[in-house]
Amino acid sequence: MIGKVVVSVASVLLLVGVAIGVVVIINKNGNTPLSPQMKAVQGICQGTSDKASCVKTLEPVKSDDPNKLIKAFILAVQDAVTKSSNFTGKAEGDLGSSISPNNKAVLEYCKKVFLYALEDLGTILEEMGEDLNQIGSKIDQLKQWLIGVYNYQTDCLDDIQEDDLRKTIAEGIANSKILTGNAVEIFHTVVSEMAKLNAKVDDFKNMTSGVFSPSDKGTAPVDKETPPVVDTPVADPDGPSRRLLEDIDETGVPTWVSGADRKLLANAGRGRRRGGGARIRANFVVAKDGSGQFNSIQQAVNACPDKNPGRCIIYIKAGIYREQVIIPKKKNNIFMFGDGARKTVITYNRSVGLSSGTTTSTSGTVQVESEGFIAKYIGFRNTAGPNGHQAVAIRVNGDRAVIFNCRFDGYQDTLYVNNGRQFYRNCVISGTVDFIFGKSATVIQNSLIVVRRGNKGQYNTVTADGNEMGFAMKLGIVLQHCRIVPDRKLAAERLTVESYLGRPWKKYSTTVVINTELGDLIRPEGWRMWDGESNHKTCRYVEYNNRGPGANTNRRVNWAKIARTAGEVSQFTVANWLSPVNWIQQSNVPVTLRL
């Protein structure tokens, strides 16, 4: 059925383009008609944030075929990103030998992520083919890659510490950012309207305007009069967890995880079975005592094949591994597991504050640039301490990441959920400032979130989401069935040290807290503004059915929403937020959309 539904995309898009194009011209210029080409262009561009740049990009394309127009637009994005990549290289050259270590490091990082963006754009063009009718279920993945292309560009800017350099680079890459954002919106509009109208071409024929209106952008609704929620039991992340969503299987794994990967997760346990030997056969074994093929994790990662259609399985025996591990983009589908999150520990101390030539992104003890990453029973640490400022324990930049039974310990910026769809369950995450942050679609379930004591006078913020693309996009952090508590050093001062659920990093920052136990360390206001910015006016912060002394919402900030019904937060369940989950093909249990 999916193939048959998407078969109508091109024709529907053309019909909508015709309708909207005619109406726009009539409203502005009386009865002046549009050419078929411009009608199609207007239809495609109507749902974009920057319609003028979209139309200008497509005007030279001498075709009214939406297939050719949309492909031409992606080619234009590719050209713009190439120019932005060249610009960052030129900027580095212009600074010459006087360039500071930090500026050199960040521009090198910018060049790397622009290459990632160009690689993904090439893949998008290849997968699109010549006919949109043949995209089928690929369209969600194509949109995810396009969002990644956008995020790569913002990653570059966000890592730049020096104001003048950030301004220079921002101006130089502005066009590619605008075009990429438009491309994401073009793909999203096609998908969402086809889903709403069930590919009924006739429903489009009588439409005259507003079909592609990006109404999901703008200020999130605020409900100031919502009464406090009623407490309900919360699952213990340190013990057996309940099956809380019908779209999660009985082991707690999202149903979009393949059957083979589900078996790996089930069989990869802590320690060894009686009689010796790991629970599953690993491709590579890492051991500090020399009993494996490698004594460093990076060596094992390097040994995994590039662009692997299967799994590369790395078993990391108990030990403290003091190294920075980088999983390159080409090393996809890596699954690593250890002997326990306190026994198998990867640790490093790189930070922006204390390590010369380091950016937020490159500070990560483990940096996952590839898709399909899975980890289980491993501890990830950054020991730079509060004086190191941005100091990431793990940065996950690849789509479809699954992380179970792991620990992430740090202070500021501990867990960087950089990009893609990510699922965490039964984890422990500790930190101080913005210690769960990123630009991805992330759900963290049944996990223990530990707020630490930082430097004197420092406040704590659990989350800092970086959605700057609007609420139509599935970008944001969801905490579900978790516990938020102080660590031992903070416990005595928890009522005097200010601790908040989060603060809005970007304009459309989205964070949702569902069925979670909030300790009394959480301030009555709940959320904090980002100093010097007005993102709190446009962000989307939602609380639903939480419990504990920190969950009293009587004094919450008026820009946070207190949801009254399950329906108000159903879009943030794993089935919706991390879709498509392919639950029909992979689930052996009933599936519902309720919490």
Domain boundaries, the chain: 9-22+34-200, 432-594
Q: CA of 159: how far to CAs of 11, 173, 246, 352, 569, in Å?
A: 43, 15, 39, 10, 32
The whole-number pLDDT of residue 17 equals: 44
Residue 242 confidence (pLDDT): 28
Residue 233: its pLDDT value, please? 28
In three-state form (DSSP H/G/I as H, E/B as E, the rest C), the secondary structure along 248-282 is ECCCCCECCCCHHHHHHHHHCCCCCCCCCCCCCCC
Counting beta carbons within 10 angstroms of the beta carbon of residue 164, is it exposed (0 to 12), middle (13 to 18) or buried (19 or more)?
exposed
Q: Name the fold adopted by 9-22+34-200.
A: Butyryl-CoA Dehydrogenase, subunit A; domain 3 (1.20.140)
Residue 188: the pLDDT is 86
pLDDT score for 220? 46
Cα distances (Å, whole numbers) of residue 174 to 178, 251, 563: 6, 45, 37
Give per-residue pLDDT as tens, 386-419: 999 999 999 999 998 888 899 999 999 999 999 9
Handedness of CA 167, 171, 176, 179 (dihedral sign): positive
pLDDT value of residue 67: 84
- Write down the pLDDT at residue 10: 46
- CATH 2.160.20.10 for domain 432-594, yes or no, is yes
Q: What is the pLDDT of residue 65?
A: 87
Helix (H/G/I), strand (E/B), else coil: 461: strand
Q: Would you please indicate which residues are annotated as catalytic (active-site) residues?
A: 434
Q: Residue 501: its pLDDT value, please?
A: 98
Radius of gyration of the chain (CA): 24
Identical fold between 9-22+34-200 and 432-594 = no
What are the 10-residue block averages of pLDDT along the chain, 595 residues in total? 38 46 43 83 91 95 89 96 96 91 95 96 89 71 93 97 96 97 89 44 35 44 36 31 38 60 64 50 95 97 94 96 98 95 98 96 97 93 97 95 93 97 92 98 94 96 97 95 96 97 98 97 98 96 98 97 96 86 32 41
DSSP SS3 for 576: helix
Cα dihedral 230, 231, 232, 234 sign: positive
Per DSSP, 483 falls in state E
